[in-house]
Amino acid sequence: MSLKTTILAAAIAALPAMASAHMVIEDAYARVSSNMAMSGAAFMSIFNHSDIDDRLVSASSDIAQRVELHTHIQDTGGVMRMVEIEDGIELPAGETVLLERGGLHVMFMGLNETLEHGDEVEVTFTFETADPVTMMIPVDLERMPEHGGHGHGHGDHSGHQTN
Ligand SMILES: [Cu+2]
């Protein structure tokens, strides 16, 4: 292979990474909040495939009147509650950040339509540095929370609500 061909091949190989703006969002799913019928949330992993620390600044979608970035905190009474993260979610270079049940999540406030299992929701993610990412996120009302960290073992279906 000539040097020129090698460079061309390398450039072509680099294209998909550039197109995805160095943010790789995987395993995304959305669901209706169990405690608020007209709200929902989305969970996923975000891999910052770059050497630049970045930040998820906001998410937007037509599915809801407002889309916020939330996390859970424990209040003084020991009760977990959700709070908006106003300065965005940190995405350290080369690391994967998990948005998961009981932790960080994308919150849909005031759903414009109900989320049915199997639907897809279009969501656009805006980053401080990386290009925005728009993707279809499947609604999965059957997914159980990940075990680990929240005191729920496998087979714990007690918290399962489809609505
Ligand atoms: Cu929330």
pLDDT value, residue 33 = 78
CA 23 to centroid of ligand 1, rounded, Å: 22
pLDDT value, residue 145 = 84
CA 67 to centroid of ligand 1, rounded, Å: 9
What is the reported pTM? 0.76
> Which domains can be identified in the chain, with CATH numbers?
22-138 (2.60.40.1890)
Q: Return d(Cα 149, Cα 80) in angstroms, integer.
A: 13
State yes or no: pLDDT of 2 exceeds 80.
no
Q: What is each CA distance from 131 to 20, 31, 52, 83, in whole angstroms?
A: 8, 26, 13, 26
Location of structure tokens 């050497």 = 51
CA 46 to centroid of ligand 1, rounded, Å: 18
Mean pLDDT of 2-25: 64
